[in-house]
Amino acid sequence: MPLVEVKRLVKHFPLRGGVFNRELGKVHALNGVSFRIERGEILGVVGESGCGKSTLGKAAIRLLEPTSGSIFYDGQEITRLAHARLMPFRRRMQIIFQDPYSSLNPRLTVRAMLRETIRFHGAAGRREVEKAIDELIGKVGLRPDAREKFPHEFSGGQRQRIGIARALAVRPEFIVADEPVSSLDVSIQAQILNLLMDLQEEYGLTMLFISHDLKIIEHFCDRMLVMYLGYAVEELPCENAGERALHPYTRALLGANPIDDPDDRRPLAVLQGDVPSPFDLPKGCPFAGRCPLVEERCRREMPPLEEKTGGQKVACWAVE
């Protein structure tokens, strides 16, 4: 049984305007996305900006209420649980936010921030709180004197370490990492990724790792879910992803990756056309207007995400 399972998740945001602030339309952020994550597994979610990656991560742990669909955690459906009944699950699933500059309270020291989290969730007894704080600070690679400092006294990489410590403070089983290294320098990115890999192995964490960088996804994750305009278009193992990829969009993303060999002068695959508007979704496949393999059927019907060989799934009429 998977630890996390999402079925046909849909999330729409109302678009309002006019004198009476009436609803003029909807932003279709998620359009029936489904996935499963086994215990101890890392599922990467990748796609262009605006494809619904962050919305998916927040909706999966009920930070955003889904419009429709089902969310199961350890076999129990939590989609419609009231606040009081959801609280025991809050401790078991946490999130690391993308921006370490805005996700930390500027008026609290690191010690106060972690103490508040631990006490609220009852993650340690009163006499054990200070010891737990010291252990967390050490686990994420910060100096002991960091506990009495405020967020503005740290660099971006150090702030992200504090965000990781806050997520670990309640000893969760499942963590959503929402582009945790995208705002950091490349050298710092490697340090944070290595830290997350060590912590995932030590604590046996299950993770949903969101990124727009396929190189990071291939290196860090077990499987990847490729999203386009709120749809899941392919799910495949990260190992040898370049050879396994079937969907034209996934292949275009992989083709845009930087090439390691400077002598390799292969032509860059560039997609033509623009991404359709999430306010007015096209009929049929959302990628049809940019796809080099487009067929007439693609413009009429949305292909389902179907399983192929080796547990790989793809939503494309042109792929046999």
Residues 272-284 have pLDDT tens digits of 778 888 888 889 9
Distance between CA atoms of residues 40 and 205, nearest Å: 5
Q: For the domain 4-92+172-314, what is the CATH superfamily, name and number? A: P-loop containing nucleotide triphosphate hydrolases (3.40.50.300)
Query: pLDDT-based confidence at 265, cuts 50/70/90?
Result: low
Among 27-36, 99-108, 243-252, name the most confident range. 27-36
64 and 58 in contact (C-beta within 8 Å)? Answer: yes
Neighbours of 277 (CB within 10 A): 12
Beta bridge partners of residue 313, listed in sequence order: 235, 307
Mean pLDDT over 281-288 rounds to 91
Report the pLDDT averaged over residues 28-41.
Answer: 96
- Average pLDDT of the chain? 91
> What is the domain partition of the chain in residue ranges?
4-92+172-314
pLDDT above 80: residue 264: no
Instruction: Give yes or no for residue 197 having a pLDDT over 90.
Output: yes
CA 194, 196, 199, 204 dihedral sign is negative
Which residue bears the tokens 């991404």? 275
Alpha-carbon torsion angle 214, 220, 225, 228, nearest 10: -30
pLDDT bin (cut points 50, 70, 90) of residue 238 is very high
Mean pLDDT across 158-181 = 94
Token pair of 172 as six digits: 């969760």
Q: Tell which residue, 81, 98, 97, 101, has the closest CA to residue 89.
A: 81
Read off the pLDDT of each residue in 248-253 and give the average, rounded to a whole number: 91
- Please report how many Cα atoms fall inside a 13 Å half-sphere around the Cα of residue 188, on the Cβ side: 14
Q: What are 133-156's pLDDT values in tens digits?
A: 999 999 999 999 999 999 999 999
pLDDT tier at 166, thresholds 50, 70, 90: very high
pLDDT digit string, tens, across residues 37-67 = 999 999 999 998 889 999 999 999 999 999 9
Mean pLDDT, residues 295-306: 91
Query: Scanning the structure block, which residue is given the tokens 């010291």?
Result: 134
For the chain, give the longest Cα–Cα distance. 68
pLDDT of 35 strictly over 80: yes
| pTM, rounded to two decimals | 0.92
Spatial CA neighbour of 4 closest among 190, 157, 168, 223: 223
Give 6's strand partners.
Answer: 35, 71
Give pLDDT tens digits for 80-122. Answer: 999 899 999 999 999 999 888 888 999 999 999 999 999 988 8
Angle, in degrees to the nearest 10, between helices 129-139 and 156-168: 130
